[in-house]
Amino acid sequence: MTAVLNPATEEAIAEVPGATVEDADRAIEAARRAFPAWRTVAPPDRARLLRRLAGLVEEHGEELARLETRNVGKPIQDSRGEVAMVAEVFYFYAGAVDKHHGETIPVAAGVDLTFREPLGVVGLIVPWNFPIAIASWKLGPALACGNTVVLKPAELTPLTAIRLAELALDAGLPEGVLNVLPGSGSVVGQRLVEHPDVAKIGFTGSTEVGRSVMAGAAGTIKRVTLELGGKSANVVFADADLEAAAAAAPFAVFGNAGQDCCARSRILVERGAYDRFVQLLVQATTELRVGDPEDDATQMGPLISADQREKVSSYASGTVVFRGNTPADRGFWFPCTLVEARNEDRVAREEVFGPVAALIPFEDEDDAVRIANDTPYGLSGSIWTRDGARALRVARAVEAGVLSVNSNTSVRVSTPFGGFKQSGFGRELGMHALEGYSEVKNVYLATEG
Ligand code: TXE
């Protein structure tokens, strides 16, 4: 049994058994047995089941949001938004079931058809920062394509995934289609990666573990999609609406207490606007409400664990321009911190995964692109400017999978999400995600005697 903690109070809120290798094998076997029937469910019926699941998530929205907030320490308003997104994801993929078409291709002496076949049993391994949301991004397309799944939540945050599996049964998904297996990465995760009956791993987590997932999958030529770390740049040009950019920037890096793969944790500012922007940013950060995650007004909660706090604190050094306050009570609190840095510094190179932002000045457009790309990661980023042509030029030049102009939002249910470089590969969300959970089959029929 593992105690599950509330990061805001350090109190145990549940005890969850850690699955063994034998449990993993049993879950994979249950998914394998459920696959033939699930793949042949008529498309409108599969869509109906996913819609019912979406409806149950909506009905239980407040319950799921409270559970997520207590387990992750994230502000309740964020949890409500994420749970609403989970329902939207299942509605989207319910609608996608019969819109993921094959083709007919002109060929000589016959007819050529393609089919989108499900892969079989897929293993989904998710992290603790957006537990139910990231689980849904993988479950939606996996189930819509006709796969069965074994989902492994992160050790620290299994509660909403366990509840979601119950709701899936209530929605009428057959036994064995969606299996949730709480347990450790090195036991259950590793077994999913190596098991010959698992056709694919959909993974979100650290680049380091992603690397080992990729290596482990090689043994059985498993398909993998990897959504890994980030070190995204928020690029602010002097011609931007500085007030708007500064007002938005704290949420882009301190949202979810910085535990976000899309965190714009490098804030690049054109030198001519640097002093003014920093002044505005400090003001905006001061106003961020840090405190009890269950309070509707809270905008930032604690970190996930004592270990994470220790890791994050190792980055909060150098020239600190601002350090915020935190509650004095128990809980894994860490203050919003702004540091001036060079792009070579550790705080600007490594994923902090906490509320620490590096402020870096740049000289001109070329310099901004050079610094933005001088990182092994390539997940996300923002460009703030009033010059539309420049916005597009820079967006094309930045090596990242998800960019926004005059905004810091990265994630929408209907649009592709994923990284370049060591931020991983494969795309989640939108119709693009279906590619990662199906295989193209080509069939040629001779029509001439
Ligand atoms: O991630 P892990 P952790 C980054 C972030 C954070 C750091 C560590 O920088 O500080 O990673 O977090 C499972 N085989 N991100 O330790 O270990 C594990 O059980 C198979 C970025 O939580 O990568 C969990 O379910 N699976 C990130 C999942 O992998 C294994 C989100 C992620 O855990 C495994 C989270 C193994 N050998 C952390 N070892 C993002 N970019 O969103 C572990 N796991």
Write the secondary structure of 126-170 as one string of H (helix), E (strand) and C (coil): CCCCCHHHHHHHHHHHHHHCCCEEEEECCCCCCHHHHHHHHHHHH
Query: From the CB of 154, is ligand 1 less than 6 Å away?
Result: yes
pLDDT at 1: 87
Q: Are 284 and 300 in contact (CB under 8 A)?
A: no
Give the model's confidence band at 262: pLDDT under 50 very low, under 70 low, under 90 confident, else very high.
Answer: very high
Q: Which residues 6+ apart lie within 8 Å of 36 measured at CB?
A: none
Residue 210: its H or E element: helix 207-217
Q: Are 202 and 123 in contact (CB under 8 A)?
A: yes
The atom of ligand 1 lying closest to the CA of 156 is 22
Portion of the chain with pLDDT greater than 90, in percent = 98
pLDDT tens across 392-426, in order?
A: 999 999 999 999 999 999 899 999 999 999 999 99
pLDDT tens across 279-299, in order?
A: 999 999 999 999 999 999 999
Give the model's confidence band at 449: pLDDT under 50 very low, under 70 low, under 90 confident, else very high.
Answer: confident
pLDDT(252) > 90? yes
d(CA 201, CA 192): 8
Q: Are 411 and 417 in contact (CB under 8 A)?
A: yes
Say how many Å lie between the CA of residue 276 and the centre of ligand 1.
Answer: 38
Residue 78: its H or E element: helix 76-96
Tokens (6 digits) for 358? 């590096």
Rounded to the nearest 10 degrees, the angle between the axes of helix 43-59 and helix 61-72 is 70
Q: Is the pTM of this model over 0.85?
A: yes
Which residue is closest in CA terms to ligand 1's atom 10?
353
Query: From the CB of 193, is ligand 1 less than 6 Å away?
Result: yes
Say how many Å lie between the CA of residue 301 and the centre of ligand 1.
Answer: 20
Query: From the CB of 419, is ligand 1 less than 6 Å away?
Result: no
pLDDT at 193: 98
Query: From the CB of 425, is ligand 1 less than 6 Å away?
Result: no
Which residue is closest in CA terms to ligand 1's atom 33?
205
Q: Are 417 and 402 in contact (CB under 8 A)?
A: yes
- Annotated catalytic residues are 227, 261
d(CA 167, CA 177): 13
Query: From the CB of 129, is ligand 1 less than 6 Å away?
Result: yes
pLDDT at 329: 87
Say how many Å lie between the CA of residue 102 and the centre of ligand 1.
Answer: 35
Query: From the CB of 152, is ligand 1 less than 6 Å away?
Result: yes
Which residue is closest in CA terms to ligand 1's atom 43?
185
pLDDT(55) > 80? yes
The DSSP secondary structure of 7-49, one letter per residue, reads: TTTTEEEEEEPPP-HHHHHHHHHHHHHHHHHHHTS-HHHHHHH
pLDDT(324) > 80? yes
pLDDT tens across 338-376, in order?
A: 999 999 999 999 999 999 999 999 999 999 999 999 999
d(CA 350, CA 101): 41
Say how many Å lie between the CA of residue 101 and the centre of ligand 1.
Answer: 34
Nearest CA among 411, 440, 401 for reference residue 100: 440
Query: From the CB of 97, is ligand 1 less than 6 Å away?
Result: no
The atom of ligand 1 lying closest to the CA of 227 is 41
pLDDT(318) > 90? no
Portion of the chain with pLDDT greater than 70, in percent = 100
Round the average pLDDT of the chain to a whole number and report it: 97
Q: Are 217 and 224 in contact (CB under 8 A)?
A: yes
pLDDT at 317: 85
Which residue is closest in CA terms to ligand 1's atom 19?
185
Tokens (6 digits) for 27? 């879950």
d(CA 278, CA 273): 9
Which residue is closest in CA terms to ligand 1's atom 27?
205
Query: From the CB of 51, is ligand 1 less than 6 Å away?
Result: no
pLDDT at 410: 87
pLDDT(135) > 80? yes
- At residue 112, the 3 state secondary structure works out as strand
Say how many Å lie between the CA of residue 188 and the centre of ligand 1.
Answer: 13
pLDDT at 195: 98
- The least confident of 78-87, 239-248, 297-306, 317-326 is 317-326
